[in-house]
Structure 1
């Protein structure tokens, strides 16, 4: 069985391959990358490296020949992802790939989360393709708050428009372990997994965790979304990015990231990584 992972030099894809290397022969694994120069470590470990961009259908079809199972790691170019993912799905079908797993977002077909529409559309393309599939609906990554730790270390405050909202986050390594479990074992076809951390923390708890990490008191300073946009643009972000981040906070306040399902810990066979432990590791790296 040959397993391929797209975005294999990215933050999630590389962790999936790390996990797969603990149970699979290296030459049975294929890293699909845009830049082979960034995949030297994977090649040195015996992983096959193939070059293809999500925007290059011909290269994708060549790269996916001989693949039994494929993990499509969602692209990072918000606004272009449906077309790019469609290219991968079409190439997989043309190349004879037997199974595809996709990293979606929690409750993609019902949530009002600002990031959800492209994931929902991709899920629909996968199901319409006729390929055997598993949808991995990932919740929030704890590492998304690594910059928050650095900023709070300087300012003594976590400034957010999240109100009393909670976040059931887990680490990328937790989600990577789930993807590896699906790719390396049978019985997941046709399943949609709603994946999230075992505990939904609030931003006061986030500030408390950061206090322990940075060695100074950090407090949570809730603001409105317009106020947050002003704070972020004053710090140098463009208006569009600031507005996007404020919208994510608004979604958090609405409880869209708070769902605890227990499916992630069941799939990986262990508890998800606690907030303090995850942030400590993220800060150290």
Structure 2
């Protein structure tokens, strides 16, 4: 076989081979995910937040999308409110400058944030994790190194956390499946804690009601004997108050009884006739014909 001019065709000119898909630049893709918002594809702006799947967002962009009630993309469909995102506590990289913000130069540029514990840059070359309880960010290597001594407290802020609170940032497909399981665990734990709190509050209310009823019944039982034994209480009050007791004893003195308006010497059994004769109430004064020498009673009829 030949062509005009005596040329010989090559194999790729005669056989059509299926073209291979264009290979993605892994470094560029990694850089894009760690420096851009997963919602708007714009460069990340502080404050930076993460979702339960470990994707990074500019918090302001998420708030605007929720306020406008726009439909979320498929990768962020699980973000329905601010409760579904967590603000991150990041450590700035002192080596990061304005020159590092330019595109390209992947080998020489620095990441904007680092691990506060061991100084690794958060560029995607190393795996980073964040805690859902406090939002602190650190490298996975650092967390594994100190996990033996501080397994239940954040090494940066000392806030307690569980296994389900460790979120891998920008993880692979296996990490995403694990993050879904952890999200379900946190939701179940939250509902359980809410239910326990509600039951505890209900129990506390019942205990308070029973205590109030017991106090009321006890007070009623105390008031009844107090009412029935008023004389006893009065005596106790008199004993407690000596002045009051002396006044009562003085009122019972027979000499003071004579000061009463209805008291009559003529009716006093203890008085003698001589003593009674001094008063006008005596029969001798009533039967005499002249006036009394004290009262000068003229005996008017």
Q: TM-score range, shorter-chain basis?
A: under 0.3
Pick the structure with more strand per residue: 1
TM-score (norm 1): 0.22
TM-score (norm 2): 0.21
